[in-house]
Structure formats: structure tokens, C-alpha cells
């Protein structure tokens, strides 16, 4: 298999749907309509659990136990931002994520809002960073 870097899942879809590219690994949202209308066959999702919008699609972890790769978004501020400001921003973001319209809009886009604390998010960032650095070192990935 040869990696073909695309700037977005949407851009790759043209080549996948035309048969020029046999497989895609990308964001779920742009491909769900093509899965549902039978133009694409989903092989797996990378999340630890089956995804709600395509419940019949297995996870990679069902074949490779422990596999879990999720796309996440978070808000960050410059180093040195006072804790009071960080806490105010965090409270406002968590409050916004609880609004029914916001939850619905995110769900339509294939996202689940979790919110949380700055500490919890920092742990997630560090855990993912450490995980990918370890993988790059183990398989000796080099930038070309």
C-alpha cells in the first residue's frame, strides 16, 4: 500500500469514489453518507467502541485488541496565561458544550463533546504525545 497524502478527507473522496484510490483512512463524517448509500464499504472505525452513526461497522480493536485512535479537539492558551483566565475560559467552554443546540450541532458533525478540566486535557495531550513519540521511535519512522 502506498500512502497518498491529501489535504482533507473530502479531497481524497473524489479519487476513492472514482476508483483511482482503493482505500481511505480519514475522518468519518464525510464518508458516512457514502457508507449509508452503499458507495463505500466501511472496514472499521479506529475508536475503542463502535461509532453511533455506523453501529454495524466494527472497530479495529475487534481485530487488534487495544487499538484506539481518536481525533479530538481542544482549546489551548499561551504558556503563562493566568490560572484565573484559564479557569474562566474552561468554565465558559464547558457551559457552551452542555447547551442542547451545541450538542446537536456537534453530533451532526460526528463529534461528542466531553468537556472537562484543563488538567484532564493536559493529561490527554501528554498521553497521546508520548504514545506517538514511542511509536515513531519503535518503528523508526523518518521524515522524507
Domains of the chain, start order: 1-70 (3.40.190.10), 83-138 (no CATH)
- pLDDT tens sequence across 15-74: 999 999 999 888 888 888 899 999 999 999 998 899 888 899 999 999 999 898 988 899
The three grid cell numbers given for residue 86, joined into one nine-digit string: 484559564
- pLDDT tens sequence across 67-117: 989 888 999 999 999 999 999 999 999 999 999 999 998 887 778 888 999
Amino acid at each position: 500500500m502506498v500512502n497518498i497524502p491529501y489535504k482533507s478527507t473530502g479531497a481524497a473522496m473524489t479519487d476513492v469514489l472514482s476508483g483511482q484510490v482503493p482505500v481511505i483512512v480519514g475522518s468519518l463524517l464525510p464518508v458516512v453518507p457514502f457508507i449509508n448509500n452503499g458507495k463505500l464499504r466501511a472496514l472499521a472505525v479506529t475508536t475503542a467502541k463502535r461509532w453511533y452513526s455506523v453501529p454495524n461497522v466494527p472497530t479495529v480493536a475487534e481485530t487488534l485488541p487495544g487499538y484506539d485512535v481518536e481525533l479530538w479537539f481542544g482549546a489551548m492558551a499561551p504558556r503563562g496565561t493566568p490560572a484565573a483566565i484559564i479557569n474562566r475560559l474552561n468554565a465558559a467552554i464547558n457551559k457552551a458544550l452542555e447547551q442542547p443546540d451545541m450538542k446537536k450541532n456537534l453530533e451532526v458533525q460526528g463529534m461528542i463533546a466531553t468537556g472537562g478540566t484543563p488538567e484532564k486535557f493536559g493529561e490527554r495531550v501528554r498521553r497521546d504525545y508520548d504514545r506517538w513519540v514511542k511509536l515513531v521511535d519503535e518503528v523508526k519512522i523518518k521524515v522524507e
